[in-house]
Amino acid sequence: AKVFMADFEDALSPTWENLMRGQVNLRDAVNGTVIFHDKARNRVYKLNEKIAVLFVRPRGWHLPEAHILIDGEPATGCLVDFGLYFYHNQDTFRATQGAGYGPFFYLPKMEHSREAKIWNCVFEKAEATAGIRKGSIRGTVLIETLPAVFQMDEILYELRDHSVGLNCGRWG
């Protein structure tokens, strides 16, 4: 399958401007309205009709979002990334259920099944709030920490209704 991963974790300098531009680009990608006009070449680039499946890689649990405070503390970056993306695209996700694409995530830096359980709760709440079928939100967990190596079965269990699988990455 052709997949494109929008990376809010390692491949993005997490300035507020970059994060918000990334969210706008995600909205445009989900709605098929990505367009770029290269003035120097006088060319317009648009998405093809058949596009790659979009996965979003939110920041890891350990990364804060200092621009949003909750009780005086920075919000958790991954929840901000997920929340903005899901909220602004939920109508499209609801309208295209079963069409082969949807809210798909690549979850990095997980260390324990408790983190997977939190993701599962977030996914279930988002699905219920948006009125989409349980299990529509899907996630692949990147196993890149030693603690997660020993928690793989438990991580899969906690995400059982939402798991695409585990990935040990391509570095080594």
pLDDT per residue as tens digits for the range 132-152: 999 999 999 999 999 999 999
Q: What is the CATH classification number for the domain harbouring 134?
A: 3.20.20.360
162 found inside a domain: yes
- Do 106 and 139 contact (CB within 8 A), yes or no? yes
- Do 143 and 106 contact (CB within 8 A), yes or no? no
56 found inside a domain: yes
46 found inside a domain: yes
In which residue ranges of the chain is pLDDT below 70? 98, 100, 170-172
65 found inside a domain: yes
Provide the number of structural domains found in the chain: 1
What pLDDT score does 20 carry? 98
What pLDDT score does 98 carry? 67
Query: How much is the pTM?
Result: 0.91
172 found inside a domain: no
What pLDDT score does 171 carry? 56
Domain ranges, residue 88: 3-167
Q: What is the pLDDT of residues 50-73, one digit of tens each?
A: 889 999 999 999 999 999 999 999
Q: How many CA atoms lie within 13 A of 81 on its CB side?
A: 30
What pLDDT score does 51 carry? 87
